[in-house]
Chains A and B, each alone.
Chain A
Amino acid sequence: MGTVALGFPTKDFFVDMLTRDISLSDSILDLLDNCLDGVVRQKSITFKDETSKYYEGYYSRISFDDSSFSIEDNCGGIPRNVAEKYAFRMGRSSENYENDLPTVGIYGIGMKRAIFKIGRSAEVITRNEGELYRVTVPLDWVNSPEWDFPIDEPEMNDILCQGGTKIKICNINSDIVNLWNTKDKVENYQEELIKAIQQSYSFIIEKGFRIMVNEKEVSALPINVLVDNKSSDSKSRIMPYIYKNTFGDVKVSLAVGFYASPPSPEEIDDENSSKRSTAGAGWTIVCNDRVVLYNDKSYLTGWGESGVPQYHTQFIGIRGVVIFESNNPKALPMTTTKRGIDTSSRVYSAVKDRMKHGLKIFTDYTNKWKGQNEKEREYSTVAESVPVQKILNDLNTAEQSGKIKLRQTQQGAIFTPSLPKPVIDKPYRVVRFNKDIESISLLKEYFYGDEANPASPSQVGEKAFDEMILIAKETKDKDDNSAVLSS
């Protein structure tokens, strides 16, 4: 009979818990986050210059097939004491080894999680300040009682010369092998991963960081909104709403606007029947260059709260970006997984009020022009699509040239656009109805002499309405006249 009840965890349980709730792509993004933290540690620059190519010269190279996965970077490697004391432990020690640097990640669970998500054995080779060493995750680690990982210093003078880390994972887990075991499947997953990387790292790629997936370079996918630089009437043009402020050590800038014209009734129908993608709309939130929320359309970003309508297909053209920057990553409103917003953050709740404010301007505009899309497009098609980052970077120039005037308010600096307004001489209502195709074709032929005429169903409907109005007016005039005559 024993005198204690066994309480230490089994490794199986640990590994299972660790990898259960994370997708493969997210765990690979964790590895990329570690690379970026390496850059920041390497450069040791405290406040990042917003416009510079901060990550220029740094890269991360990902390759995979059904026998191995590797990721190699030139981002400075892991300091030996960090590897010995923290980086490979299951969980993060509360001791703080990272000084006040603007990193997104805090070496925690990410690397271990990615390794065990993908395979059963790995080696991490890293060169930091000239010194190269290797940490091995042996194949039988899960079944052995030993928790520590061996470190050695192999002779490898020709690799990682600039300083960096290479992680190679072998004995790929069977469910992952299933994703990667044919050329088509590898290509398919490759596309998926590239898309995930673009969504999260476009701001970083824009600033010079290079990411290769199976030798294919990932390009940045800038987030654009419409800006009207041409029209002379500054009181009536399509511009984004812009906001800037500083909360303690967190700098915030925000822009929200249209990235496409508000949709016509046909486009809303297409969207509702899933013929068009809604992916572009919503809020993207960036913390220290890292996208933590991409195109969100929920209450998290103010949709459906305090007078802002819930996201609906008619708002498909609205898009916004909020950029948070700080030397103190703990002050940033993101969750520890870096893939979500910390809604309890006070900075975020103050900024969210402005997000709702900006959003409402564009939902109001969309509602106001509903049913008058053609007239609306006279304005929105004049505007050009400009990356949000460029708009925010060029604010000073735009202010000097008088295109944009930020106004200093108690809540921070705000630019509210004066969007075009429809001329309302009398109240308008939307008329919508469904009719069978045959009848629509019949009317098309009647109006345009050819049932193959490209007129849309709603144009045919409007034409029918307009024709009927003429008849109704004529009849009314006649009646009025005969009434006058008979009196």
Chain B
Amino acid sequence: MTTQPFYHLRPNKFIDRSLFVEMLVGLSQIYPISSYRYTGFGSYLFDDFKIIHDTLNITEMISLEKDIIEYQRAKYNCPYRCIEVQNINSSEYITNLVIEEGEHNIFWLDYVSPDDLYTQLCDYSALLNILSPGDVVKITLNATPSSLGGKAEPEKLQEERFEILKKRVGEEFFPPSLTRDDLTTSRYPLTLIKILKKVIMSALEDDPVYSPNFMLPLLPCVYKDGQQMLTFTGIILDSHEMETKIKDALKSYKYITFSWENPCKIEIPALTVREITEMNRMLPSKDAQQQLENSFPFVFSGGKDSLVKSYISFYKYYPNFHNVSL
């Protein structure tokens, strides 16, 4: 993680995180979220831990750090006493985790390494298998096709990457309907959702008699601050009544689609403070897209309207970074 420059300054990830927290706020109308335990990979910056503690008042928090050196740095930088940093990899942590009846959890498996996809899926599966109804899990996966590698000439590259993905995911979790056409930059995140769906189904839904649990998808997101990433958040339920209740409680959050198919795309360009100020003065408005495109051709040019749409959807969450003297 430390090899990524300005880890905490990535605006699109920042928005993805803000949406997650806002969604948890929405869920706290129904569930006692503040008494949940939050487990994530806080690294040494703890961005997620800070905002989750500050906003939701969750006080039982566990941050997993596998590297011994990073672990020491994490402990040094730990912002709150209620965060317990453990020097353990997530795989081992999940294997040894026993969740007693009545305990509730929010997990964010914020994976970065594309090479370990199989292990990541296995851990996700093992976790789903032991969580309880009402528990929330978010997983981050690298969704950049080039992260699959491949050295073939351009015509054959997709084919090669398809084979690499198949190998990485393993027969168990690979949906047979996928083809090499599913490995383009725009479709790869959907492909990963399909794979996640297969993992979820095999972990939860093959056994309805003894475990009625299923997963309601809440918030799939695709963002890019360099590498294209997919995050997928779902809640484990055991009754469709709760599903209706949740859909009702979260209905004002437009980006929550409860769907496996429509991830929200966060791709806001890097903007100057002046640009942000001027753009926000035009928002919200019905014909904002046209206005913004006309006023900022130097930002939103190139015929792709996803940037401007993304900004209109998420301008509220766009972070401002400034130099500060302390």
Contacts and interface: CB of A to CB of B under 8 A. Distances in A.
27 contacts: A247-B210, A305-B172, A306-B122, A306-B125, A306-B126, A307-B91, A307-B122, A307-B123, A307-B126, A349-B206, A349-B207, A350-B207, A356-B126, A357-B95, A357-B130, A361-B96, A407-B98, A407-B100, A409-B98, A409-B100, A410-B99, A410-B130, A411-B129, A411-B211, A418-B96, A424-B68, A425-B68
B242 to A, nearest CB: 16
Chain B interface helix/strand/loop/mixed: helix
Given A346-B209, A357-B95, A411 B130 contact: yes
Contacts of A418: 96
Given A357-B126, A425-B68, A410 B132 contact: yes
A451 B59 CA distance: 63
A424 B68 CA distance: 8
Interface of B: 68, 91-92, 95-96, 98-101, 118-119, 122-123, 125-126, 129-130, 132, 172, 202, 206-207, 209-211
A364 B92 contact: yes
A410 B130 CA distance: 7
A409 B130 contact: yes
A211 interface: no
Interface in A123-178: none
Which secondary structure characterizes the binding site on chain A?
Answer: mixed
Interface size class of A (residues with CB under 8 A): 20 to 34
A409 B202 CA distance: 20
Interface in A292-316: 305-307
Interface of A: 247, 305-307, 346-347, 349-350, 353, 356-357, 360-361, 364, 407-411, 414, 416, 418, 424-427
Given A307-B126, A350-B211, A426-B68, A409 B91 contact: no
A319 B278 CA distance: 68
Contacts of A425: 68
A417 B132 CA distance: 22
A282 B126 CA distance: 21
Nearest to A354: B129
A416 to B, nearest CB: 5
A22 to B, nearest CB: 32
Contacts of A307: 91, 118-119, 122-123, 125-126
Question: Which of A306, A350, A356, A425 has the most B CB atoms < 10 Å from its CB?
Answer: A306
B122 A408 contact: no
A346 B210 contact: yes
Q: Which of B95, B125, B130, B209 lies at the interface centre, i.e. has the most chain A CB atoms within 10 A of its CB? A: B95
A322 to B, nearest CB: 15
